[in-house]
């Protein structure tokens, strides 16, 4: 998601900045980051085009329709409701397409996959921790304090190397030292 100012969005759309402000005030486009007053470039473009096409498709309404005329009937509001439903569907499809793109690029992943991978990772660390006393006891028996520190330091480095390798394998991350 690329965030831009109203001026930058107006330049992208080829309109005056005031047109972007009016569209936002009328609910046709919305800030992605309200606190900083920034728009999501892709979503704002989609909203702009959908609203522009809607404006071109809708004929100007008569100023005063007689009571019994078709313009005053409930059928006139059905067209508006259908358009609103179509607009919601188009926005949902655009959002879904954007999510799929981010997922394909590796920027998003499913929560279940992360929980499963993290659970396996933590379970592996717990198993190593539980085996610590059994693995180190024979090595530490009868050793001097200096030798014990050397062995424990080597074991710590080995554990850190394994954790870093596992983080890289699972998530492509480099843990902070």
Residue 72 maps to a domain: no
For residues 38 and 55, state if they share a domain: yes
Number of domains into which the chain is organized: 2
Q: Mean pLDDT highest for which of 92-96, 123-127, 135-139?
A: 92-96
Residue 121 maps to a domain: yes
Q: Which residues pair with 3 in a beta bridge?
A: 40
For residues 11 and 88, state if they share a domain: yes
For residues 23 and 98, state if they share a domain: yes
What is the span of the domain harbouring residue 161? 111-171
For residues 15 and 93, state if they share a domain: yes
Average pLDDT over residues 139-145: 86
Residues 21-55 have pLDDT tens digits of 998 888 888 888 777 889 888 888 888 887 776 65
Are 30 and 47 a contacting pair, CB within 8 Å? yes
Least confident piece of the model among 123-132, 144-153, 168-177:
168-177
Query: Distances from the Cα of 95 to the Cαs of 36, 44, 71, 92, in angstroms?
Result: 22, 12, 34, 5
* Number of other CB atoms surrounding residue 10 within 10 Å: 19
141: left (phi over 0), alpha (psi -120 to 50) or beta: beta
Average pLDDT over residues 108-118: 78
For residues 84 and 160, state if they share a domain: no
The Cα 78–Cα 45 span in angstroms is 26
For residues 18 and 53, state if they share a domain: yes
């Amino acid at each position: 998601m690329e965030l831009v100012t109203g001026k930058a969005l107006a330049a992208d759309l080829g309109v005056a900045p005031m047109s972007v402000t009016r569209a936002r005030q009328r609910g046709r486009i919305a800030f992605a980051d309200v606190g900083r007053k920034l728009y999501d470039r892709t979503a704002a473009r989609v909203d702009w085009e959908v609203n522009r096409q809607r404006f071109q498709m809708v004929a100007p309404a008569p100023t005063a329709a007689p009571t019994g005329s078709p313009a005053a009937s409930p059928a006139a509001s059905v067209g508006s409701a259908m358009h609103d439903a179509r607009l919601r569907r188009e926005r949902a499809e655009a959002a879904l397409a954007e999510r799929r793109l981010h997922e394909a690029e590796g920027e998003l992943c499913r929560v279940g996959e992360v929980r499963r991978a993290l659970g396996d990772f933590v379970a592996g660390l717990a198993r190593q921790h539980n085996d610590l006393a059994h693995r180190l006891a024979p090595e530490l028996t009868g050793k001097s304090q200096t030798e014990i520190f050397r062995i424990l330091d080597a074991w710590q480095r080995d554990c850190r190397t394994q954790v870093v390798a596992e983080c890289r394998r699972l998530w492509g991350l480099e843990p902070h030292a």
